[in-house]
Amino acid sequence: MTETKDLSIEEDGEIGIVRLDRQAKRNAISQAMIAEIGQLFAAPPEHWKAAILCGAGPHFSAGLDLREHGTRSVDAVMDLSRLWHRTTEAMLNGRLPIVAALNGYVIGGGLELAAATHIRIADRSVRYSLPEGRRGIFVGGGASVRVGRMIGTSRLTELMLTGREVDAEEGQQIGLSHRLVEPERAFETALEVARTVAANAPQSNRMILHGLAQIGEMPPSAGLFAESVMVALTQADPEAQERLDAFLTKRTR
């Protein structure tokens, strides 16, 4: 296991396990932590084929470390927001599928970080909220774009204006999580999912991560053309041919 000031990093075969590790502060996200996460996912270990992002202890993250935030100038706050954006872009647009294991508080910046993962597994202890309005601030880690696209701008507006708490079941219904599991089962389930994802051909995973997001922004005709290019490139990969041959051989036995 590798430990830094704010993260603990383990491995399960080809899967990286990245834990937010500031339990005394409910894994509140410091500037140092978000920078470390960005550096890690911008250049993950070569042998990793998927990653899990989780929190140490009973909470995923209670959000931004506001003790740091209160003393910053306008320029410093904007710089921090852009650091968050670079980090979450490295997560979403890197080469690794990232599975989030969510428990306890997933608040503010914690929700923004979770929204930058590709698959989110929540247990029934999860409580989401975006309380920035109550603190006199605004989201700065991507929620206005990513959470809005997950649940819709109208619903995001309501959550931000009220700052209300969303329980795990409602979060599942509105699209904050992909799967809802019993308490203390989020990590176990995330590991199962990560193993399944890691077993895919890396080129296929990369096309899924990058291609679908880009196609979603295109007009239909351009999206269909991009799809044809991606299937051609993917199928031309030697590993794809090996997997197809193995599948066909198995079927003819």
Closest CA to 29 of 61, 58, 5: 61
- pLDDT of 240 reads 73
- pLDDT of 14 reads 98
- pLDDT of 83 reads 98
Protein fold of 202-251: Lyase 2-enoyl-coa Hydratase; Chain  A, domain 2 (1.10.12)
Q: Which amino acid is at 202?
A: P
- pLDDT of 109 reads 97
Q: pLDDT (tens digit, 9 = 90+) per residue, 63-81?
A: 999 888 777 899 999 999 9
CATH architecture of 2-199: Alpha-Beta Complex (3.90)
* Residue 111 Cα to chain centre, angstroms: 9
Catalytic residue among 10, 132, 192, 239: 132
Active site residue 36: no
- pLDDT of 92 reads 96
- pLDDT of 252 reads 54
Domain boundaries, the chain: 2-199, 202-251
Q: What is the pTM of this model?
A: 0.93
Closest CA to 234 of 212, 216, 213, 208: 208
- pLDDT of 182 reads 98
Residue ranges in the chain modelled with pLDDT below 70 = 1-4, 251-253
Active site residue 112: yes
Catalytic residue among 112, 188, 192, 217: 112
**What is the chain's mean pLDDT, rounded?**
94
- pLDDT of 68 reads 85
11 phi/psi in degrees, rounded to 5:
-135, 145
